[in-house]
Chain A
Amino acid sequence: MEAPPVTVMPVTGGTINMMEYLLQGSVLDQALDSLLHRLRGLCDSMEPETFTDHELVYLLKGQQGNPFILRARRSLSHPNTPWHLRYLGQPEVGDKSRHALVRNCVDVATSHSLPEFLNEMGFRMDHEFVATGHMFRKGAMKIVVSKLSRILVPGNTENTERLSLSYLVELSVLAPAGQDTVSEDMRSFAEQLKPLIHLEKIDPSKQRH
């Protein structure tokens, strides 16, 4: 049993700030098969990965300002895998000609005690949903086609109701800050999916009432 390396410097502060570049769109249920067919042809793997995930969105209300949002996601199809905790920052305001939505992103893999732990920290669950669909990869790009369902009874993931008659499509890349060629590559990939689907930059803050 070898001794693991002991770092003298702390882990905090040395980690690169990762950014998520995002383009979103949707297709009606009837168009799903054509989209999957086109993606199979354009993307890396032979068969896409299917998934069924349960996501819970937690809010921490502070003394002032907007509440702090954390997203906790677990796989219903692979129940023993770790939970995925995600923090997404405010979208970067800046270059209007930039093709994708850019925001700071922190991803943490955690044990199954996550919901209880978040409650102890003071977070309260705001809403939850089930997402099922397919995931494709092309290089650093990830394309996720998902059907979102509302959970009717809190905590019961068996009893769900589809939110809409369409599928949400998200094209994303996780990259260190400052790599602007990423959004160019995303835009040219999105071009290849037209006119089946129109992927665009949708600012989430403009969606709030």
Chain B
Amino acid sequence: MGVTCVCQVPVAEGKSVQQTVDLLHKKLEQLGAVKQGSFCVDCETYHATGNVSGQPSKLLYVMHNSETPLSCLALFEGGPCLVADANFDVLMVKLKSHFQNAKGHKVECRGSRYRYCDFLIKVGTVTMSSSARGISVEVEYCPCVVPGDCWNLMKEFMQSFLGTSVPELPSVFVAKPEGLFAPADCVDTVTQYLELFNKLRKLQIPGSNVR
């Protein structure tokens, strides 16, 4: 796993989510990227039952990334994170009287996976309760694990197909002291997806379902 950046791409003016995604695919193919399968990142939300009254219930997020299909990531926003194997989902079922699954809050991001030289690009549609809420783009620069060393290169690459929607250095990397390696267990990637999902959850989409 190399340094990975996840960002949101706004829907193009006058176009639907699907049309914007198709535009991005076309731009990537023009660059010379090759499609290599699909990907899926999903997030389930659990909240603790039986909390002290007055205190907001802690939210536990359990996420899966198709890039690491046998793993499961459990995290508290701003809190500790646990990397576990797929049986963690079975354990959460056993814990259902203590942690309730907020089924309506399940978020999924699905799309195509492109390979361009040393870059891996994933363009996904973020859906919540079957309605498309936004577009995510994940760019991974595989050979490098130090964010400070390759951020400028990644930004330049992203500009070639995202134009003006290029993001700033993700906050997960800003918090790390200079020269620290991005861990290989995709915690940083998944944390960025969680931030994106929470941001999209708070957005009010005018009108009915956009597909």
Q: Which residues of A contact B (CB under 8 A)?
A: 1-7, 10-13, 15, 60, 62-63, 65, 68, 85, 87, 89, 106-111, 113-114, 116-117, 120-122
Contact = CB atoms under 8 A, between A and B. Distances in A.
Nearest to A8: B40
11 contacts: A1-B142, A11-B89, A62-B50, A65-B97, A85-B84, A87-B91, A106-B91, A107-B87, A108-B91, A121-B99, A122-B48
Interface string B68-95: 1100101010011111111111111111
A117 B74 contact: yes
Contact of A113 (B68, B72, B81, B91): B81
Interface of B: 36-40, 48-50, 58, 60, 64, 66-69, 72, 74, 76, 79-95, 97-99, 110, 113, 115, 120, 142, 185
A68 B97 CA distance: 10
A176 B137 CA distance: 41
Contacts of B83: 110-111, 113
A114 to B, nearest CB: 6
Contact of A63 (B50, B60, B88, B185): B50
Contact of B69 (A5, A87, A89): A5
Contacts of A7: 40, 66, 69
A2 B142 CA distance: 13
A117 B88 CA distance: 13
